Structure 1
Amino acid sequence: MFRRGGGGGSRFEAQYRVYPVSFIDKTQLENGDKVILPPSALDRLASLRIDYPMLFQICNPKEKKTSHCGVLEFVADEGHAYIPYWMMQNLLLSEGDLVKFSSISLSKGTYVKLRPHTSDFLDISNPKAVLEMTLRNYSCLTKGDAILVNYNNKRYFIDIVETQPGDAVTIIETDCEVDFAPPLDYVEPQKVFPAKGAAAGASGSASAAAAGKASESKEQEEEPQPSFLPFAGQARRLDGKPQSSVSIPIPQKREEAGASSSLGNKSGSSLGKPGSLGKRAAGKLVFGRDSTGKSVDPDLPKPPPLSARHHAAAAAKKPKEEEKPEPSKFQAFSGKSYKMT
């Protein structure tokens, strides 16, 4: 049942038939890795020098499966041991199978990698806090095991993917880094790429839209801009009367009149001769006459004298002076007066 090791050390070894903890109405032990052993195991352990807390290695010799656990009480029947049902599933055990218990000392864990079986574990509002509360009921973790987490009346199984510094570590009074792997049922979303035809149609529509915008901008540029026309309005008089044009008659001599009429009848006049501009003085602008008022071309008529212009302007002013303003129909204070008495 047990043997002593060399160098004054000792190791406990015993074989028991295992049953689920539900057989002794201790279902709360399903949330941890604690087992129930018989009182004889405590007597043997007390006589040996072992490390505390007490940790055990459980081995199924038929399936060659191994796990690790702690002990809660020594109240089981002799030859029997009660362990959590999830541990029996990991070891591929049935009720009444014979297993081997051995005392062991494990190093403290520094790193643990976990992988949930289902993605709904990640839907918990605070999975880290739930996991910390659950692991308080565990003494050690073994690589390859699947531990159980009960939360909100639902069972979650989590695989122990990796442990450091060994394949089995204790998590009692230690700071351990925890990492999560993707759940077993997690499916990575696939990237959807647009079809070639759709991409070509989109590029064609984009190019057509760009061409339409370019043509619209060209049309806007080609539209004639409104030109500014100064003094394009109509003239108004301040007195409100209609505007009348005044013509100034210019008397001419008979000889000059005849000359002008003969100039109009001739097919080629002296104005069109290129040599007529050669007699003008250099450096002066002369429009048909020189600075003395004489015509450069003898065929052109002379301007009327100043006296004739004065008489014409006086004749034009007379009709305006003869116009008398119409009497106004409005008469101030034209009503009747009345007395108060």
Structure 2
Amino acid sequence: MYADNYHGDNSTFEQNYRCYPVSFIEKAHLEKGDKVIMPPSALDRLAYLQIDYPMLFELINPSTGKLTHCGVLEFIADEGIIYLPYWMMENMLLQEGDIVRVKNASLSKGTYVKLQPHTKDFLDVSNPKAILEKTLRSYSCLTSGDTIMVAYNNKKFYIDIVETKPSSAICIIETDCEVDFAPPLDYKEPEKPVKSTLQNKRSLEVDEEPEKKIPRFSPFTGSGKRLDGKGLAQPVVPISSPVLKQHSPENASGNNGSNVSSTSNGRKSGKLVFGSKTEDASNGKLKTTSKESNQEPPQKEEEPKFQAFTGKKYSLKG
């Protein structure tokens, strides 16, 4: 009855069917894989063509050109009808009762697949790798550009097949396949903290501040002290002061290069004087007096010199 609907040569299976979701025959568990339900006549034709196992097929939407690949689980569908997982119908933009073309395919063993979850919630699962491995056991093949569904804990996670190697469609039955993950579609990189304009302005002002000048060393600018603890007769004049410069030998003129000015007390200006010498009118000697006090400091008493045989006499008689 359906023999006239087969196309191609004697080694190729190709047939048009009307598609419906697997939930129509109470096989909703097939939503977790890529297996389809085909009519018994398809099995007869495949057996006649001696198609090797596992049987893999290429599904094409004639109106849009969308295609994917799948495996087959049973041959119990009504003639002219094929039952597909609903996620597969969504990928191919198929509605209930639309025509889909089915063609047998031979796919190479997969070596690499790159997956991209739609939401980052899938990465929050306790062990996403183990869940993914368990889910892919229900799949026969993967096609680049498809979106598969992973069910876990009453939630449905959709994952895009970004890339497959060595071809755009691979068989994953009994093969070791490297799996890589791309960032989820809703993932956003954390923004780097941006400093406020005020903080940037302050940092620039700090950078532009001139370096503080280091004070230069000036010799003989300290303060003087007397050994007896009394105050100084006159303040110590720094060398760099104009007073010393005026009386310095370099700036002096006249009288063999020396210019000495007398002060009211007879001292030479520009010198540090701790005391002055005055002449004693009585004995004509010079004695040192302090500016603060005119009293002569007490002189030490001279110790008597030793003279031999100058002691007292004593008689033995008593």
Percent sequence identity over aligned pairs = 58
1:28 is matched with which residue?
29
* Equivalent residue runs for 1:262-301 within 5 Å: 266-269=282-285
The answer to whether the 8 A contact 2:280-2:287 is kept is no
2:174 is matched with which residue?
173
Instruction: Name the stretch that deviates more: 122-131 or 188-197.
Output: 188-197
Deviation (angstroms), 1:78: 1.2
2:251 is matched with which residue?
none
The answer to whether the 8 A contact 1:3-1:10 is kept is no
Which structure's CA Rg is the greater one? 1
Deviations 1:163-207 (CA, angstroms, capped at 9, x unpaired): 111111111111111111111111122222213421343576899
Q: State how far apart, in whole Å, the 2-side matches of 1:67 and 1:180 are.
A: 21
1:161 is matched with which residue?
162
User: How many pairs does the alignment contain?
Assistant: 228
Seen in structure 2, the aligned counterparts of structure 1 residues 303 and 23 have a Cα distance that, compared at 3 Å, is closer
TM-score (norm 1): 0.61
Larger helix proportion, structure 1 or 2?
1
Q: State how far apart, in whole Å, the 2-side matches of 1:107 and 1:49 are.
A: 19
* Equivalent residue runs for 1:106-145 within 5 Å: 106-145=107-146
1:94 is matched with which residue?
95
Tell me which amino acid in the other structure corresponds to 1:2.
Y
Tell me which amino acid in the other structure corresponds to 2:52.
D
Q: State how far apart, in whole Å, the 2-side matches of 1:20 and 1:270 are.
A: 136
Deviations 1:242-287 (CA, angstroms, capped at 9, x unpaired): xxxxxxxxxxxxxxxxxxxxx9873533899xxxxxxxxxxxxxxx
Q: State how far apart, in whole Å, the 1-side matches of 2:65 and 2:302 are.
A: 143
Tell me which amino acid in the other structure corresponds to 1:62.
S
Deviations 1:103-154 (CA, angstroms, capped at 9, x unpaired): 1111111111111111111111211111111111000011111000001110
TM-score (norm 2): 0.65
Deviation (angstroms), 1:2: 2.4
1:82 is matched with which residue?
83
Q: CA RMSD in A?
A: 3.1
Deviation (angstroms), 1:64: 1.0
The answer to whether the 8 A contact 1:18-1:95 is kept is yes
Tell me which amino acid in the other structure corresponds to 1:160.
I
Deviations 1:34-56 (CA, angstroms, capped at 9, x unpaired): 00011111111111121210001
Q: State how far apart, in whole Å, the 1-side matches of 2:301 and 2:20 are.
A: 147
The answer to whether the 8 A contact 2:113-2:163 is kept is yes
The answer to whether the 8 A contact 2:58-2:70 is kept is yes
* Equivalent residue runs for 1:327-338 within 5 Å: none
1:304 is matched with which residue?
304
Tell me which amino acid in the other structure corresponds to 1:134.
T
Deviation (angstroms), 1:14: 1.1
1:257 is matched with which residue?
none
Give the gaps of 5 or more residues in structure 1: 215-262, 273-299, 312-341
Where 1:149 maps in the other structure, the secondary structure is strand
Where 1:47 maps in the other structure, the secondary structure is helix
Q: State how far apart, in whole Å, the 2-side matches of 1:270 and 1:143 are.
A: 121
2:229 is matched with which residue?
none
Tell me which amino acid in the other structure corresponds to 1:50.
I
Q: State how far apart, in whole Å, the 1-side matches of 2:60 and 2:306 are.
A: 146
1:14 is matched with which residue?
15
* Equivalent residue runs for 1:186-201 within 5 Å: 186-201=187-202
Q: State how far apart, in whole Å, the 1-side matches of 2:8 and 2:67 are.
A: 22
Tell me which amino acid in the other structure corresponds to 1:115.
Q
* Equivalent residue runs for 1:234-253 within 5 Å: none
Q: State how far apart, in whole Å, the 1-side matches of 2:55 and 2:200 are.
A: 68
Tell me which amino acid in the other structure corresponds to 1:178.
V
Aligned residue among 2, 6, 9 for 2:6? 2
Tell me which amino acid in the other structure corresponds to 2:6.
F
